[in-house]
């Protein structure tokens, strides 16, 4: 018998994430002032958090903020980037995320303090 926990969330055209993994992410975060919701998973060198799971004998790694975006807004179109409006790479507050093309994203670095 299948349950809702056997269902998957499509993140993009390559990755589908089981709901049990989505639930795990929802249990490991902290809220910061300013509304950021930061994953407690270890950051990579860019500060992004990712989660790994096994699917069909293959280890799959997905960035937490991309998964959070896809949960609310649907799958991320091929080639698109999920950008942080808050400049906090570990944040997965869906209100702080938006979709950008890669060229838009490279033009949109954190403004320098003047």
Binding site for Zn ion (CB under 5 A): 36, 86, 88, 91, 93, 96
Closest CB to Zn ion among residues 37, 60: 37
Closest CB to Zn ion among residues 39, 93: 93
- Alpha helix ranges (H) inside the chain: 19-25, 64-73, 102-106
Closest CB to Zn ion among residues 35, 77: 35
Distance of closest approach, residue 47 Cβ to Zn ion, in angstroms: 12
Query: Judging by beta carbons within 10 Å of its beta carbon (0-12, 13-18, 19+), is residue 65 exposed, middle or buried?
Result: buried
Distance of closest approach, residue 100 Cβ to Zn ion, in angstroms: 15
Our CA dihedral for 99, 74, 96, 25, rounded to 10 degrees, sits at -130
Distance of closest approach, residue 45 Cβ to Zn ion, in angstroms: 19
């Amino acid at each position: 018998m299948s349950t809702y926990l056997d269902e998957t969330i499509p993140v993009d055209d390559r990755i589908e994430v089981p709901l049990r993994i989505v639930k795990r992410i929802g249990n490991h975060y902290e809220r910061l002032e300013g509304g950021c919701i930061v994953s407690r998973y270890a950051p990579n060198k860019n500060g992004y958090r990712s989660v790994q799971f096994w699917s069909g004998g293959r280890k799959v790694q997905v960035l937490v903020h991309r998964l959070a975006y896809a949960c609310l807004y649907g799958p991320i179109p091929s080639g698109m980037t999920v950008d942080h409006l808050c400049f906090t790479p570990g944040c997965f507050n869906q209100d702080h995320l938006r979709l950008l093309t890669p060229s838009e994203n490279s033009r949109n670095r954190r403004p320098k303090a003047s």
